[in-house]
Amino acid sequence: MPTAPHDESPAPAARPGSATVHHVARLAGVSTITVSRALREPAKLAPDTLARVRRAIADTGYVPNSAAGTLRMARSGFVAALVPHLQASNFGQLSAGLTEVLSAHGYQLLIGEIGYGGGREDELLRAALGRRPEGLVITGVRHSPAGRALLRQAGIPIVETWDLADEPIDMRVGASHERIGEAACDHLVQRGRRCLALVSADDERSLRRAASFLQRAAELGLPAPVALTVEAPSTHAQGRAALAELLARAPDVDAVCCSSDLLAMGVLTEARVRGIEVPRRLAVMGGGDAEFAASLAPSLTSIRIDGRETGRQAGQMLVARLQQRPLPQRQVDVGFELMVREST
């Protein structure tokens, strides 16, 4: 009985949604272990090999079974980050720096917005930890007693960011807000200003900067600055209203320091409407060095904390701990930079 002819044609492509790791490995000319490594630890592969695997994944439409991987490896593959406000450019940069480092080591980033109140932080912290992240990045160092207990009992690497106060729960990357307040006051005084005013959001870090600013003014023998507090997150409209109130209370004010660039932009707008020349009559200073600060007219003096570098440092600390490598230090001071522009 004659035998059927041997079929040497390539195996048919997988149907959409049915591709397996074996389809990807065959198309890329690598082992299934190499495909798995490309998904979990891409930094360990040669660039050309990684490119072939990623091209094969795209061509086959392969979607890894993350649930099965989690069961096999007892790992979730993601890191959680809790930030106050994603629309703020500095926290967006923090997330970008984290993603840059974590994705190179096969981790995904899950982000939650905690706002500026402790209750929301505790709620999201419980939700994030309930999903079993492999690490956690949280903005700030002042937590409620319940939140601090959750962090201490989490059993995973934790990086607190954007501050340096107190001892870290685990690891920390940030800058001193007390020194920022002092530097802002010193800058305005060095510019010849003596009748200072302060507009601060009511979040904990802004209030600490404000307290340091006021203390430094007292140390320099200046009249007590007029200080206003607005609800966080601060807005352009709050800045306009704040300058109107400041001028009603202290007509001779010659410098306004704001906790955010949005507040400072509002002050600049109100000054322009009133015909007040900046900086000849009034110096204006912001905080955060938002993207628009340099392109305002006049350009805005601000204080910058490098959000992207903060995120990178936090990501590197997490990865080192997850890979059980020693850390040279548990706390990193990324410092800050005074961006002097036309408004002062």
- Residue-level pLDDT at 124: 85
For residues 224-232, average pLDDT: 95
DSSP state of 190: H
Kindly report, residue by residue over 323-340, the tens digit of the pLDDT. 999 988 999 999 999 999
Sheet containing strand 255-258, strands side by side: 226-230, 196-201, 255-258, 283-285
For domain 74-175+307-335, is the CATH number 3.40.190.10? no
- Residue-level pLDDT at 118: 55
- Residue-level pLDDT at 87: 67
Question: Structure pTM?
Answer: 0.76
74-175+307-335 and 177-304 agree in CATH topology = yes
Q: What angle do CA 58, 62, 64 make, to 5 degrees?
A: 125
- Residue-level pLDDT at 247: 97
- Residue-level pLDDT at 74: 52
Is residue 137 within 8 A of residue 106, CB to CB? The reply is no
Tell me what percent of the residues of the chain surpass a pLDDT of 70. Answer: 89
pLDDT exceeds 80 at position 9:
no
Is residue 88 within 8 A of residue 42, CB to CB? The reply is no
- Residue-level pLDDT at 71: 43
- The identity of residue 177, as a single letter, is H
Name the band, by pLDDT with cuts 50, 70 and 90, for residue 154: confident
Kindly report, residue by residue over 240-259, the tens digit of the pLDDT. 999 999 999 999 999 999 99
| Span 177-304 CATH architecture | 3-Layer(aba) Sandwich (3.40)
* The CATH number of domain 21-64, selected from 1.10.357.10, 3.20.20.70, 1.10.3720.10, 1.10.260.40: 1.10.260.40
Q: What is the mean pLDDT of the chain?
A: 88
DSSP state of 203: S
Kindly report, residue by residue over 284-323, the tens digit of the pLDDT. 999 999 999 999 999 999 999 999 999 999 999 999 999 9
- Residue-level pLDDT at 117: 60
- The identity of residue 148, as a single letter, is R
For residues 229-236, average pLDDT: 93
User: Residue 241 burial by CB count (10 A; 0-12/13-18/19+): exposed, middle or buried?
Assistant: middle
DSSP state of 31: -
**What does the domain layout of the chain look like in residue ranges?**
21-64, 74-175+307-335, 177-304
* Chain centroid offset of residue 248 CA: 37
More confident residue, 176 or 132: 176
pLDDT exceeds 60 at position 4:
no
- The string of DSSP codes covering 260-321 is SHHHHHHHHHHHHHTT--TTTT-EEE-SS--TTGGGSSSPPBEEE--HHHHHHHHHHHHHHH
Q: What angle do CA 313, 212, 228 make, to 5 degrees?
A: 110
- Residue-level pLDDT at 159: 96
For residues 165-176, average pLDDT: 90
- Residue-level pLDDT at 64: 66
